[in-house]
Structure 1
Amino acid sequence: MTSPILQVENLVVTYTGRHGLSKKVIDNVSLDLKAGETLSLVGESGSGKTTIGRAILGLAPVTEGGIKFRGETISNISRSQRRKVARGIQVVFQDPYSSLNPSMTVEDILVEPMAAAGAPGGRQRVRELLDSVGLPSDSGSRYPKEFSGGQRQRIAIARALALDPSVIICDEPTSALDVTTQARVLTLFKELQEQTGVAYLFISHDLGVVNSISDRIAVLYQGSVVEIGEADQVARAPRHDYTRRLQMAAPVADPKKQRERRAARLQLLAAEKAADVHQGAPAQL
């Protein structure tokens, strides 16, 4: 059996507010990611999925548990150690408009991570990266504002690939794009994975989006994993009520199916509300 390239073990992330009040945002989460695999974290806003990605990147504190990359613990490591890890774990952020420095050319944006890591890189490497994400080779001399949202996200993906990472954390990378552009970017992610063998930790609120790219899906609710399994099983035949709600909330192209799904979702919510009321009612004597 292949050992996981990335492991999250009993992870707890707690934030302390201004008045000393603590809030646990990640509660005992364990996950693993194998080389060349796509594991998607799905949940509503505030479910904790992005915090897990930030903890892996060293951007959120690890209160308890640990994170391992290639068998080595990377949670709460020093800044110099983190720079070494960064070569193997890269990230594509949600917003292609704010994640690229508008004052830098595309070539400078792509060369920057290579220069910071002391890795060889020049115009030939920039052309290779641009070609890998389907952008013209002369795009390097242009600025981000000259590109569409989908093209900017392709630049961000090229930047993530610059150091030949083993893992890329994709934090809602298609949520700011229209449906057609989303599909093209998802296809690009799959093609790049086939070519490079990179593993993705794909973060999204949309169960329908991740089903097309995932090998496995983990569903998060209020900081905990409530369901995890093969992508088709989780997306098409979910076992947990919360996953069913996510499934019913995902848009579909067929208006009739969309109405049916909405009606089923409302029925499920009504049944859950009735169950809550019943459980809270006083016993009948």
Structure 2
Amino acid sequence: MPEPVIEVEDLHVEYRLRGRSSAKQVICGVDLVINEGETLSLVGESGSGKSTIGRALLGLAPVSRGTVRFDGVDVTRMTRRQRRPHTAGLQAIFQDPYSSLNPAMTVESILSEPLLARGVKDARRQVQQLLDSVQLPADAGRRLASEFSGGQRQRIAIARALALSPRLIVCDEPTSALDVSTQARILALLRELQERTDVAYLFISHDLGVVRHISDRIAVLRHGEIVETGSTVKVTSSPTHPYTRELLLATPVTDPAEQERRRRARLELRAQGGQQHHHAA
């Protein structure tokens, strides 16, 4: 039976707005469990709070209520210094491979930095192993990050996340800045690495069409609340919430006629939602 890597209970995140006495609630009562070797995808449109949840797990966003347990340890209100010994196995891959890597550093420097910080003595050998694991040539370590394409930079970012043998990687829209063919190759690489290492992923995306290729389970987030969760097959083939159906209809297709049909169906769903809200009021 797989062990839970991270357990999130009743998570609330709010931000104080400058010049206002009240706080804006961004995340409201979210519960999540991600097991060893599992991919849970968190899906919702822009502004739904997906990245905020990822940041809260990483200790980069304030938790106003609830708990985050990583490998059984409650890290919710620890300072960064207190969290460090407990959460080295919690890493991240961010959306933009151009801004997440220092373009002035060599790839070897980027990858060896976390290893040296942990006192690893054979960092250079491990860097070569990391490059091999993400299918980059051995001489890539001597080059600057700025010399690589977007897809190659994202492979470097994946290698950096793998450096400390993580238990969980928060993948925050890691393919959205890439073209479709490069997206597919990065997703295939992430699956392969998971099979080899049993790492767990929280995969954050706005696109149900992308996450269906990598997820074991999907949680759908709307306005900071989870409205539906279930297996990938269940959520993508027989969704129960209108918002999930709307997200599925927003998935791009190549057939213009089908794309138009989906657009009309999506507008109809939104209209029905508006009418239900009006009657409830």
Contact 2:167 2:200 in 1 (8 A): yes
Q: Quick check: 263-272 or 168-177, which moved more? A: 263-272
State the distance in 2 between where 1:49 and 1:133 align: 26
Structure 1: which 5+ runs fail to align?
281-285
Q: Quick check: 121-130 or 76-85, which moved more? A: 76-85
Question: Residue 39 of structure 1: SS of its match in structure 2?
Answer: strand
Aligned pairs for 1:1-285 (under 5 A) are 1-18=1-18, 19-279=20-280
* 1:54-78 CA-partner distances (Å, limit 9, x unpaired): 1111101111110001111011113
Tell me the CA shift for residue 278 of structure 1.
4.5
Number of corresponding residues = 280
State the distance in 1 between where 2:198 and 2:2 align: 14
* 1:183-203 CA-partner distances (Å, limit 9, x unpaired): 110011001001111000000
* 1:205-226 CA-partner distances (Å, limit 9, x unpaired): 1111001100000000111110
Contact 1:219 1:228 in 2 (8 A): yes
State the distance in 2 between where 1:3 and 1:159 align: 25
* 1:127-186 CA-partner distances (Å, limit 9, x unpaired): 110111111011000011110000000000000000000100000000100111111100
State the distance in 2 between where 1:255 and 1:191 align: 34
* Residue identity opposite 1:108 in structure 2: S
Question: Structure 2 length as normaliser, TM-score?
Answer: 0.96
Q: Quick check: 117-126 or 16-25, which moved more? A: 117-126
Question: Residue 238 of structure 1: SS of its match in structure 2?
Answer: coil
Tell me the CA shift for residue 86 of structure 1.
3.5
* 1:113-140 CA-partner distances (Å, limit 9, x unpaired): 1122223442211111011111101100
Structure 2: which 5+ runs fail to align?
none
State the distance in 1 between where 2:50 and 2:30 align: 10
The corresponding residue for 1:283 is none
Tell me the CA shift for residue 235 of structure 1.
1.5
State the distance in 2 between where 1:143 and 1:197 align: 30
Tell me the CA shift for residue 83 of structure 1.
1.6
* 1:222-265 CA-partner distances (Å, limit 9, x unpaired): 11110000011112211101111111111123333322222211
State the distance in 1 between where 2:123 and 2:270 align: 56
Tell me the CA shift for residue 276 of structure 1.
3.8
Contact 1:111 1:121 in 2 (8 A): no
* Residue identity opposite 2:17 in structure 1: G
Tell me the CA shift for residue 16 of structure 1.
1.0
Contact 2:116 2:123 in 1 (8 A): no
Q: Quick check: 44-53 or 117-126, which moved more? A: 117-126
State the distance in 2 between where 1:75 and 1:274 align: 40
User: What is the aligned-residue identity percentage?
Assistant: 59
* Residue identity opposite 1:251 in structure 2: P
Contact 1:87 1:117 in 2 (8 A): no
Question: Structure 1 length as normaliser, TM-score?
Answer: 0.94
Q: Quick check: 112-121 or 66-75, which moved more? A: 112-121
* Residue identity opposite 1:243 in structure 2: T
State the distance in 1 between where 2:238 and 2:51 align: 25
State the distance in 1 between where 2:274 and 2:21 align: 34
Question: Residue 103 of structure 2: SS of its match in structure 1?
Answer: coil
* Residue identity opposite 1:45 in structure 2: S
Contact 2:70 2:87 in 1 (8 A): no
Contact 1:119 1:163 in 2 (8 A): no
State the distance in 1 between where 2:279 and 2:12 align: 33
Would the alpha carbon gap of residues 86 and 111 (structure 1) be closer, same or farther in structure 2, given more than 3 Å must change?
Answer: farther
